Amino acid sequence: MTANRNDSPETQCIHAGAGDFPAPFGLNTPIVTSSAFDYRSEPVRYPRYHNTLNHDTVAARLAALEGGQAALVTASGMGALSAIFLGLMQPGQHAILLDGLYGGTTDLVEGLLKPLGMRFSIWNGDPDHLEGLITEHTRLIHVESPTNPLLGIVDLARVAEIARRHGLISLIDNTFASPVLQRPIRFGFDLVMHSATKYLGGHSDLLSGAVIGSEALLDRIRPTAIRLGSSLNGQDLALLERSLKTLVVRVRQQSSSAGELAVRLNRHDAVSQVFYPGLGDHPGHALAQAQMDGFGGMLSFRLAPEIDPDAFLDRLDLIQPAVSLAGVESSICQPAQTSHSRIAATERERLGIDDRLMRLSVGLEAIDDLWDDLSVALHPS
Ligand SMILES: Cc1ncc(COP(=O)(O)O)c(C=O)c1O
């Protein structure tokens, strides 16, 4: 099969980047487990160089899905993010970060990048305020959309345009949307990164990450990724390739079920607030409608004061309290205790991330089974 024969995501998920192998291998990419290769061949292959057969196949598929020229698959989302920042920025240089990013990203900035001498400004998401933060030292603008966990939406075309006009690199964490629902490179973004642990993997059995962009930018990031040793092994790359084949059907179904649950939760007396860009009263609804092909499988909601958060979680039967997200099984967590536990309590309070805030990752179970589970748990004891 020739890669990129058809550029619809359904077909790309299954065929993009796939090689032609001798008949005895059958239809699937063989799993290469070797860590030693003939050094006289060109290029010299080695798993840490991110250039094995399984790496190249998955990277080509992700590049096609996101509409980029090249991709790098890493051992985690944070591996991708670390390689991007450390590969593209020097001490003394400055980046602009969207307010309310994933807690691990904030932790990377506070715990590693700032101590190394990189500088950061926080942007409130209003495009009219973005240019005022740019200095002569600024190199990069990093956003998420939708954000984790409050599902904030950023105007992708405006961010990309401002970055381009000022010669800055625009980077987006596209984990929550996945390339099925949002392709930021089409809006002018330079780089897209993923925690591939989430929708791309999709079965809660794989830790991985990815960055997609131009050949030129990937050439600047790859040496740092190699130095950091953040490559993924052949077995997990094969697992990721297999998972990508069902990405479109999984994400569309999860997005549809999340939309329905968001409406039902919004009407429930035991829920004081629902955060979901598909709801008409969400501040980013119109933007999300314009730049996404669906609103996603993630939603957050705040329990009303009469519901004890621990008792609520204990009463759930089908929906599993768990860190991580985007598996075929529905899961739920308190971001204050998980993804955002390492950021300061005052900062969590400012963002509105308290113990009553629940982040729900909607899986592939029957919608009525999920609703029954939530309804029972939402009943005050
Ligand atoms: C939006 C987002 N970005 C990045 C990450 C980090 O990814 P990983 O855990 O694969 O390193 C996560 C993990 O939860 C995430 O939710």
User: Residue 234 in contact with residue 31, Cβ under 8 Å?
Assistant: yes
Model confidence pLDDT, tens digit, residues 341-380: 877 889 888 888 999 999 999 999 999 999 999 999 999 6
CB-based contact 118:89 (threshold 8 Å): yes
Q: Which of 146, 80, 166 is nearest to 291 (CA)?
A: 146
- Taking the CA of residue 324 as reference, the ligand 1 atom at the shortest distance is 14
Question: What does the pLDDT read at residue 203?
Answer: 98
Neighbours of 373 (CB within 10 A): 18
Q: pLDDT digit string (tens) for 98-132?
A: 998 998 999 999 999 999 999 999 999 999 999 99
Chain centre to alpha carbon of residue 302: 22
CB-ligand 1 contact for 74 (6 Å cutoff): no
Rounded to the nearest angstrom, the distance between the alpha carbon of 40 and the centre of ligand 1 is 38
**How far is 37 from 21, CA to CA, in rounded Å?**
19
Return the SS3 of 259: helix
Q: Which residues make beta-bridge pairs with 143?
A: 172
Integer Cα distance of 200 and 194 in angstroms: 8
Which burial class, exposed, middle or buried, applies to 126 when counting CB atoms under 10 A from its CB (0-12, 13-18, 19+)? exposed
Question: What is the Rg, in whole angstroms, of the alpha carbon atoms belonging to the chain?
Answer: 21
Give pLDDT tens digits for 230-260: 999 999 999 999 999 999 999 999 999 999 9
- Ligand 1 close to Cβ of residue 335 (< 6 A): no
Residue carrying the six token digits 């980013």: 284
Residue 220 sits at the vertex; the CA angle it makes with 218 and 221, to the nearest 5 degrees, is: 65
Residues 6+ apart with CB under 8 A from 379: 270, 315
Cα angle 364, 7, 159 (rounded to 5 degrees) comes to 80
Q: Measured in angstroms, how far is the CA atom of residue 252 from the centroid of ligand 1?
A: 21
Angstrom distance (rounded) from CA 100 to CA 274: 17
Q: For 145-169, write each residue's pLDDT tens digit.
A: 999 899 999 999 999 999 999 999 9
DSSP-derived secondary structure letter, 45: P
Domain architecture of the chain: domains with CATH: 9-244 (3.40.640.10), 247-377 (3.90.1150.10)
Contacts of 196 (CB under 8 A, 6+ apart): 73, 77, 206, 208, 209, 210, 240
Instruction: Tell me which residue of 357, 293, 311 sits closest to 103, measured CA to CA.
Output: 357
pTM (2 d.p.): 0.96
In residues, how long is the chain? 381
What confidence tens digit (pLDDT) does each residue in 307-348 have? 999 999 999 999 999 999 999 999 999 999 988 887 788 988
Q: Which amino acid is at 213?
A: G
The pLDDT score that the predictor gives to residue 381 is 66
* Residue 178 host element (H or E): helix 178-181
- Ligand 1: does its nearest atom lie under 6 Å from the Cβ of 76? yes
Q: Which residue's CA lies nearest to atom 9 of ligand 1?
A: 77
Q: In what order do the strands lie in the sheet with 271-275?
A: 271-275, 298-303, 357-361, 331-333, 320-321
What's the gap in Å between 78 CA and the centre of ligand 1? Answer: 6
Residue 39 alpha carbon to ligand 1 centre in Å: 35
